[in-house]
A = this chain, B = another copy of it.
Amino acid sequence: MMDRLIDRIKKKNAPIVVGLDPVMKFVPEHIRQEAFAQYGETLQGAAEAIFAYNKGIVDAVCDLVPAVKPQIAMYEQFGTPGLIAYQKTVDYCKQKDLLVIADVKRGDIGSTSEAYAVAHLGKVTVGTKSYAPFDADFATVNPYLGSDGITPFLNVCREQKKGIFVLVKTSNPSSGEFQDRLVEGRPLYELVGEKVAQWGETCMGEQYSCVGAVVGATYPEQGKILRRLMPKTFILVPGYGAQGGKGADLVHFFNEDGLGAIINSSRGIIAAYQQEKYARFGAKHYADAARQAVLDMKEDIARALENR
């Protein structure tokens, strides 16, 4: 699956993933009103609004980017109707030939971890039949529980040709509380990074393994070290844009071949129309604003990579 992601990145010349993290305050008034008129101010009304909003964005950017990353929490907060909207979003993106990174950050052990892997990447057996419940291409996974939490995901990845991205160094200010603590003189995230590389050896594609890593754009120096520690690991980089990461910070996450990283932007793209820079589009044309924000991001990253 990582090979498919690389192939798409090359084709579209864009190491970019659009984060589909719909917050109600991002959803333009006209979409909210239409959904509420039909379904009321209910969880279903909210779910329909965010799905309609997502569709607009996906239609506007699907020719530009290789992948999207829906953040499941934003759907889960609207209960089961929200999760149905999540599933419809995944399906719609796949119809539009986008790869889907399910940002679920699940992490458990043994049969429970297997259940999460099956839910998001695999197939579940019911009697004599089998079903792919959410059927994303990649999922994000939390490493705190160790190999017992990762192995069931690797089994599903090998079987179904899917991939995972393991949290290594997250983009948030307090990520250092535990991740930066020194273990025998080295920060914990390096140890996690080494484990990610090891797990990946059991599941190699052409150049990169099916086990990616999440490393925040807000920590470029750490990114440089992790890039060297995990040469065959694809890095998913959140924190660009709204969280403060800039194009120039990103170059460290890429290998010499110009590959090895994919940069996520969520708010910066899906709510671009709310920024002064893109205000001219207006709420009605939020999707065009999102498209322009992707084009600008693409240029920002390309320029940074040229100048490195």
Contact = CB atoms under 8 A, between A and B. Distances in A.
A16 interface: no
A188 interface: yes
A71 B116 CA distance: 11
A145 B174 contact: yes
A128 interface: yes
Contacts of A265: none
Contacts of A177: 146-147, 195
A105 interface: yes
Contacts of A82: 119, 133
A192 interface: yes
A188 B178 contact: yes
A73 B115 contact: yes
Nearest to A44: B126
Given A167-B144, A175-B148, A177-B147, A108 B73 contact: yes
A124 B73 CA distance: 12
A45 interface: yes
A134 interface: yes
A73 to B, nearest CB: 4
B126 A24 contact: yes
B182 A109 contact: no
B143 A73 contact: no
Contact of A170 (B80, B83, B87, B145): B145
A181 B183 contact: yes
Most buried by B among A21, A24, A175: A175
Nearest to A122: B77
Contact of A84 (B41, B80, B112, B131): B80
A136 interface: no
A151 B16 CA distance: 30
A172 interface: yes
A45 B127 contact: yes
Interface string A169-199: 0111111111101111000100110010000
A36 interface: yes
Interface string A75-95: 011111011100100000000
Given A71-B115, A78-B124, 20 more contacts: A41-B129, A42-B126, A45-B126, A73-B119, A74-B112, A76-B115, A76-B120, A77-B133, A80-B84, A105-B106, A107-B107, A142-B142, A142-B144, A144-B178, A144-B179, A145-B172, A146-B179, A149-B172, A182-B184, A188-B188
6 contacts: A82-B119, A105-B142, A142-B144, A145-B170, A145-B174, A146-B176
